[in-house]
Chains A and B, each alone.
Chain A
Amino acid sequence: RKEVEQDPGPFNVPEGATVAFNCTYSNSASQSFFWYRQDCRKEPKLLMSVYSSGNEDGRFTAQLNRASQYISLLIRDSKLSDSATYLCVVNFNKFYFGSGTKLNVKP
């Protein structure tokens, strides 16, 4: 079983839509969690850390469910510029990356 699993998508949504991604992880002792965004042929960029209490940054909300071992990312009011691949990252002694979920926001 992979350490981190994500639905590869693509998720095709219209502008203004709300979209949510989930990511599951296998190691219950994982300590920290992140969402990164990666544009085509570019490096990953930190979108937000994920805290146990959940956290929100503008249109983006991340949540952690330790009991079920998943994290989620909710994007409200999608913009064209949100089109990218979203990487779930779990840290247990080292970073484990999911393979990413591709989001296409269409006009």
Chain B
Amino acid sequence: GAVVSQHPSRVICKSGTSVKIECRSLDFQATTMFWYRQFPKKSLMLMATSNEGSKATYEQGVEKDKFLINHASLTLSTLTVTSAHPEDSSFYICSASWASGLTDTQYFGPGTRLTVL
């Protein structure tokens, strides 16, 4: 299967700081990347969909000014959590797909565990 990496795998930061998470597709060009958040024992919740070279599409209830997404190339998307607060502590997972249409398969990165103190 396709390989997606994420960096960092774990980050602890102080309240009010910003954290950048990188998502890379290593062996394919990802036309679309997705950012999810997962709280303990809960299902994945889609935050936004990102297409290379265009603005991300955010899900309802997700603040686009707080969660900045940049998809500058076909292999890299970044999520920046700005002015992080303890309630932003979560498991953030990206995924990538390369096909268009409704039958895309998504391949997930290993996730980033964010803890905001």
Contacts and interface: CB of A to CB of B under 8 A. Distances in A.
Interface of A: 31-32, 34, 41-46, 49, 87, 91-95, 97-100
Contacts of A44: 44, 93, 108
A91 B43 contact: no
A43 B5 CA distance: 11
Interface of B: 1, 34, 42-44, 46, 49, 91, 93, 102-111, 113
A99 to B, nearest CB: 4
Contacts of A98: 43
Nearest to A94: B46
24 contacts: A31-B102, A31-B103, A32-B103, A32-B104, A41-B91, A41-B113, A42-B110, A43-B109, A43-B110, A44-B93, A44-B108, A45-B1, A46-B1, A46-B105, A46-B106, A46-B107, A49-B105, A91-B103, A91-B104, A94-B34, A94-B46, A94-B49, A95-B46, A100-B43
